[in-house]
Amino acid sequence: MEIGGANALVNKGRISANVAGLTLTVAPNSGFTNTGTMEAISGGILTLNTTWSSSGTMHLDANAASTVNLGGTFTNPALGTINRAGGIVNLTGTLTNTNATLTLNATTGSWNFFGTINGGTVAFADGSRLLLSTDNTSGTSSAG
C-alpha cells in the first residue's frame, strides 16, 4: 500500500478482512484505488466507503459469513474482477452504471441491494439476483 497526497490510498498488495465477525473499513479522506486484492475471508467483513475504484481483484471465500459492503461511490467499470466462492455482497453505496451493464452471474453471485444504482442496465444470469430485503426502504435505482 502507499498513501499519496491528501491521504489518498493506493493498494497494490492485499487488504484482508480475515477475522470472523470483525469489520475492516477502508475510507481514506481522498478515496482509494485498488490494483491489488481486497478480500473478506474467514468470516471477516470488508466495508468500502468514500470514493473508490478497482482494477484489481475482490475476493470472497466460501465462508457464509464473509461479507463485502460496497459503500461510498464507485462506477461499474471500476469494480475490477470479482472472485467469489461464497459469502455476502451488500451494495450499500452509489454505483454509477451510466452507459454500462452490471451483470450478476455465477462469479459475482447475488447482491443485497441497500444503495443506489444510477443509470445503465442490470442483467442477471445463472440464477443470480439483486435482492431487496423487506425492510429496505432506502435503495433506489434509475437503471433501465
Distance CA 59, CA 96 (A): 21
The domain limits of the chain are 2-141
C-alpha cell at 24: 475492516
Q: Quick one: pLDDT at residue 8? A: 82
Structure confidence by residue, pLDDT tens digits, 5-16 = 466 899 999 999
Global model pTM greater than 0.85: yes
Residue type, 144: G
Distance CA 38, CA 11 (A): 9
Structure confidence by residue, pLDDT tens digits, 38-51 = 999 999 999 999 99
Segments of the chain with pLDDT less than 50: 1-5, 139-140, 143-144
Q: Quick one: pLDDT at residue 1? A: 42
Are 144 and 117 a contacting pair, CB within 8 Å? Answer: no
